[in-house]
Amino acid sequence: MDKFILLFLIMVTFMTNAEESDNLAVGWELWYPYQYHNKNDELTGMDIEIFNLISSQARWSITYLELPWKRHLQLVKDGMVNLAMGTSPSEEREQYAYFSKPYRNETVNLFVRKGESSKIALNNLSDLIDSTYLIGIENGYYYGETFKELNKDPEFKLRINSVIDLEQNAQRLLNKQIDGFLADPITMKFFIEKYKLQGEFEQHALRIYQSSIHIILSKKMHTLSDLKVINNAISALEKNGKLNALKEKWSKIVSH
C-alpha cells in the first residue's frame, strides 16, 4: 500500500475519533538532537522527551508519525494531524494553529566551509540580493520575518536553494554547489559528530534569527480549552522544575 494512502487512512481514523479520544497524532522528523532514533531504535531527542513530559502532564496519549516537516504542517492545517512540536511562531501558521506557551528557544545561523567566513561578505541577509552567493535552506522551515519578507524579492530568491534536509545542504556545500546554508548550531554539532565531519564547517558572523519554540494544535481539531490544557501542563512543569531539569540534561548532552 502507498505510504501516503496508509497515512491518510490512519488520519481519517484520528479525525473520526478526535472529539471522543485523548489519543492524539503528532508528527516527527529526523532532526538531531531534537528528534531521532537512538542505538536501541527508540524514538528520543530533546523535543521528544520534552513533549512526552508535557503530554503526560496533560494526560494525553500520543501516537507518533514520521513525516517530512512541510507535509506535517500541511496535515496540521488540514486537520489530519493534531499537533506539531518544535515550531517557530509565524503569522501564516497562526491562521491554522493555536500556539502553546514556549518551551525552549532556538537560534539559526549561517554555516560555511571551514576557513571561508572572511570570504563570504555578508553583514545582513539583504546583502544577498546584490551578491553571487547561493545559500541553502530546508523545505518548510521558518527562518524569521526578515527572511520571509526578503524572500518575496525575486532577486533574493535567486540566491536561495531549497532542499529536503540538512544532509543535502551539507553535501552541496562540501561539493561547492552552494556557499553556505542556514541551520541550528545545536543540530550542526550533533550532525558533525554523527558523520565525523569535524573541521569541515564553521559558523559565519551573520546571525539569521532567534525565536521561541512552541507546540501547535490544529484549529480544525482543537479548541482554546485544549490549548489551556497544554499551557497549564507546561506551567506546572516549569513550577515543579521538571521541565528545566530535562532541558539541563539535554544541555549537558549537547555540550559534551
Residue 123 pLDDT class (50, 70, 90 cuts): very high
Amino acid 14: pLDDT = 47
102 or 6, which is more confident? 102
Q: Do 100 and 216 share a domain, yes or no?
A: yes
Residue 208 pLDDT class (50, 70, 90 cuts): very high
Q: Do 99 and 15 share a domain, yes or no?
A: yes
Q: Do 206 and 246 share a domain, yes or no?
A: no
Q: Do 177 and 135 share a domain, yes or no?
A: yes
CA distance 134 to 117: 14
Amino acid 237: pLDDT = 98
Residue 194 pLDDT class (50, 70, 90 cuts): confident
Give me 153's grid cell.
524579492
Amino acid 254: pLDDT = 77
Give the single-character DSSP code of 126: G
Residues 6+ apart with CB under 8 A from 75: 11, 27, 67, 81
Q: Is the pLDDT of residue 160 over 60?
A: yes
Query: What CATH number is given to the structural domain containing 234?
Result: 3.40.190.10
Residue 9 pLDDT class (50, 70, 90 cuts): very low
**Closest to 214 measured CA to CA, from 223, 227, 226:** 227
- Over residues 222-238, the pLDDT tens digits come to 999 999 999 999 999 99
Q: Do 151 and 223 share a domain, yes or no?
A: no
Q: Do 234 and 198 share a domain, yes or no?
A: no
Q: Do 122 and 135 share a domain, yes or no?
A: yes
Q: Do 16 and 88 share a domain, yes or no?
A: yes
Q: Do 128 and 163 share a domain, yes or no?
A: yes
Residues 6+ apart with CB under 8 A from 15: 79, 80, 221
Residue 20 pLDDT class (50, 70, 90 cuts): very low
Boundary residue ending a domain (178, 193, 210): 210
Please give the residue range of the domain that contains residue 58: 3-105+212-255
Cα→Cα distances 14→6, 43, 83, 230, Å? 13, 21, 12, 19
**Closest to 11 measured CA to CA, from 93, 85, 72:** 72
Residues 40-65 as b/e (b if ≥16 CB within 10 A, e otherwise) read eeeeebbbbbbbebbbebbebebeeb
Q: How far apart are the first and last CA of the chain?
A: 43
- Over residues 23-56, the pLDDT tens digits come to 899 999 989 899 999 999 999 999 999 999 999 9
Question: How many domains does the chain contain in total?
Answer: 2
Q: Do 79 and 122 share a domain, yes or no?
A: no
Residue 7 pLDDT class (50, 70, 90 cuts): low
Q: Do 62 and 119 share a domain, yes or no?
A: no
Cβ neighbour number for residue 152 with a 10 Å cutoff:
8
Q: Is the pLDDT of residue 12 over 80?
A: no
Q: Do 125 and 72 share a domain, yes or no?
A: no
User: 3-class SS at 137?
Assistant: strand
